[in-house]
Chain A
Amino acid sequence: AQRVTQPEKLLSVFKGAPVELKCNYSYSGSPELFWYVQYSRQRLQLLLRHISRESIKGFTADLNKGETSFHLKKPFAQEEDSAMYYCALTGPHSGYSTLTFGKGTMLLVSP
């Protein structure tokens, strides 16, 4: 069964500190991994996907197939990064149609 695990419910850091939001997955096959973000009073939106290999708002995430991880990183956190972050995957078992989400990590960046 496919599963996405985000071990931290809450991550609290100070502005300027490095951030790493952890995501581990379980999937037999070749999944596609995503990070979605929900800022306060805004709708959920895509932050980045592993196949793009791009940096969005200073965030990066590398797919590590050996460790089955897709951790989200940013070297210097900003207050505006405070939000709920969800890791998600899709794969050939669902025809790449549906997403399985983790339970989310709330990131709080303090001044």
Chain B
Amino acid sequence: DVKVTQSSRYLVKRTGEKVFLECVQDMDHENMFWYRQDPGLGLRLIYFSYDVKMKEKGDIPEGYSVSREKKERFSLILESASTNQTSMYLCASNPTAGVDYNEQFFGPGTRLTVL
């Protein structure tokens, strides 16, 4: 069973704080993704990574950065959290070959509240 885990289910931070969201997958997937999920807006891609130390901007990268030092781990960083970054953050991964090719497997999500 593919498992994607996220470090926190709920997180409360203050405006201006630096925030780290961690994601780990245990299936040796090449691709990893960070989305934010907002009511009425669906899922929007923040960043993705197709290999260690490689990253690509998604649709809404402003205010975020990412780090992928190991294949299984993909971190999302909010350099200076703001209230408009209050959201549900979803991590996902997918392989680039095999029977699950192209299917994205999602983590449980981290609900971040910025006060």
Contacts and interface: CB of A to CB of B under 8 A. Distances in A.
Interface residues of B, number: 24
B48 A97 contact: yes
Nearest to A51: B102
A101 B35 CA distance: 10
Given A32-B102, A44-B43, 14 more contacts: A34-B103, A43-B106, A43-B108, A44-B106, A45-B106, A90-B102, A97-B31, A97-B96, A98-B33, A99-B43, A102-B42, A103-B41, A103-B42, A104-B43
Contacts of A25: none
A86 interface: yes
Q: Binding site of A, secondary structure by majority: helix, strand, loop or mixed?
A: loop
Interface of B: 4, 31, 33, 35, 40-45, 48, 50, 58, 90, 92, 96, 102-109
User: 3 smallest A-B Cβ distances: which pairs?
Assistant: A103-B42, A101-B43, A44-B106
A98 B40 contact: no
Q: Binding site of B, secondary structure by majority: helix, strand, loop or mixed?
A: strand
Contacts of B58: 98
A98 B32 CA distance: 10
Contacts of B96: 97
Taking residues whose C-beta sits less than 8 angstroms from the other chain, chain A's interface range is 20 to 34
Given A43-B109, A86-B42, A86-B43, A99 B31 contact: no
A98 B45 contact: yes
A18 B103 CA distance: 27
B48 A46 contact: no
16 contacts: A6-B42, A32-B102, A43-B108, A43-B109, A45-B105, A45-B106, A86-B43, A96-B102, A97-B50, A98-B33, A98-B45, A98-B58, A99-B43, A101-B35, A103-B40, A103-B41
A101 B48 CA distance: 15
